[in-house]
Structure 1
Amino acid sequence: MARRPRILVINPNSNEAVTEGLRQAVKPLTYADGPEIVCETLAEGPFGVETQEHVESVTLPLRRKVESTNDADAFIIACYSDPGLFVAREGTSRPVFGIAECGVLTALSRADRFGVIAIKSRSIPRHIRYLRQMGLMERLAGERPLEMSVAETASGDGTLARMITVGRELKDLDGAGAIVMGCAGMARHRKPLEDALGIPVIDPTQAAVTMAIGTLAVG
């Protein structure tokens, strides 16, 4: 019997609550004959990837993780800054997906202009640099922060209510036709947020895993 393909989803921060949220987010994408989807925590990562220093600190550990993992057919870097994405791709011939890149590309297939919910204001310049690099600034309606930590978005009270408020601002004031959740820790709030806003809400980890499944299916 042939081995099922395996997709490894790597949480670059060391917060296990975020990793558990990822597991719950990808459950709808699992099916009997489909790839095995495994979510792991990068133990040496910071508790939340919230600054450029945090991003840089996990780049080489992610590269080593990808290089040393021999039983995965595709990799997902589950942090909205896509840390280490390009250097990890240099370390393997297997596909490596970043959730920010995949989340934005998925949003573009659902609406002309998209908005992003960030965790904090200081995350936004980093995200904007990436979107400029991707050549997608004209499609960005806006990005607004929750002013919460990664840990708070993953397990804190009041997160969904705050996300709904910010999401409505992106929709009604900025003209976003779809929303990308700009942190892997927001995963559990996707469906209720979409129900509240009435427009597509993209969980970037789900978007990346969906792309990986398709890539492996036709590969």
Structure 2
Amino acid sequence: MVNPNSNPQVTRNLAEALQPVMFEAGPEIECVTLAEGPLGVQTQADLESVTIPLSRLVAADNSAHAFVIACYSDPGLHVCREATQRPVFGIAESGVLTALSRGDRFGVIAVAQGSIGRHLRYLRQMCLMDRFAGERPLNMSVAEAASGDDTLARMIKVGRQLKDEDGANAVVMGCAGMSRHRSALEDALGIPVIDPTQAAVSMAIGTVMFQ
């Protein structure tokens, strides 16, 4: 599990969120921080800046059986897949695919308004706009989403808008830094809430275990 931003708090949140998918005799899950990354991947420039460092990391690592890129924009996903024969998962792709199995129409909670255009381009490439209810921002930075005291309250407010106003019956959390709030948010909304990090790691575990 590679956190492509350089914020160690996000990596710690990821490790905490992955506790439910760790089990005795299961694959070891290692969460690492990309030191070369920006503090938060929030712009297209941030996204492009981590592509080659991620590719180098994947190509150089000879111990991992699978990789997960823990950023909702899936930076470098296809470049990393070219760099290794081992499976590489992006949390956005995995999270949306999981949401499609839990509801007819999904919504996404973005960290900031500036992220939404980038996410929409990705959804159009995946040909999923007919199942897309909408995306709304928290208007926070990645660092604030990872450690802010009012993050959950904002997520509940935005999640209710996606559910009640946009018609979403499943919600995807659009940032790896939100991982620790999945259970509480699902309880508050009463509909499935997908942590894309858990979704991607679950797919990776399944792939590794059945090879």
- Superposition TM-score tier, normalisation by shorter sequence: over 0.9
Could you say what the CA RMSD is over the residues aligned between the two structures, in angstroms? Answer: 0.4
Question: Does the residue aligned with 2:133 lie in a helix, a strand or coil?
Answer: strand
Counterpart residue number, 1:91 = 83
Q: Does 1:190 align with 2:173?
A: no
How many Å separate the matches in 1 of 2:206 and 2:152? 30
How many Å separate the matches in 2 of 1:38 and 1:167? 30
Pick aligned residue for 1:35 from 27, 36, 44: 27
How many Å separate the matches in 1 of 2:191 and 2:27? 29
CA shift digits 1:15-58 (9 cap, x unpaired): 00000000001111011111000000000100000000000000
* Structure 1 consecutive aligned stretches of length 4 or more whose deviation exceeds 4 Å: none
Shift of residue 217 of structure 1? 1.5
Q: Does 1:100 align with 2:92?
A: yes
Counterpart residue number, 2:191 = 199
Counterpart residue number, 2:167 = 175
Shift of residue 157 of structure 1? 1.2
CA shift digits 1:146-199 (9 cap, x unpaired): 000000000011110000000000000000010000000000110000000000
**Counterpart amino acid of 1:169?**
Q
Pick aligned residue for 2:153 from 137, 147, 161: 161
Write the mapping of 1:101-180 to structure 2, written as runs, cut at 5 A. 101-180=93-172
CA shift digits 1:72-123 (9 cap, x unpaired): 0000000000000000000000000000000000000000000000001110
How many Å separate the matches in 1 of 2:167 and 2:210? 36
Q: Does 1:212 align with 2:179?
A: no
Question: Does the residue aligned with 1:38 lie in a helix, a strand or coil?
Answer: coil
How many Å separate the matches in 2 of 1:174 and 1:217? 38
Counterpart residue number, 1:6 = none
How many Å separate the matches in 1 of 2:149 and 2:111? 15
Question: Does the residue aligned with 2:107 lie in a helix, a strand or coil?
Answer: strand
Counterpart residue number, 1:3 = none
Question: Does the residue aligned with 1:106 lie in a helix, a strand or coil?
Answer: helix
Give the percent of matched residue pairs that are identical in Structure 1 and Structure 2.
71
Question: Does the residue aligned with 1:35 lie in a helix, a strand or coil?
Answer: coil
Q: Normalized against structure 2, the TM-score is what?
A: 1.00
**Structure 2 unmatched ranges of 5 or more:** none
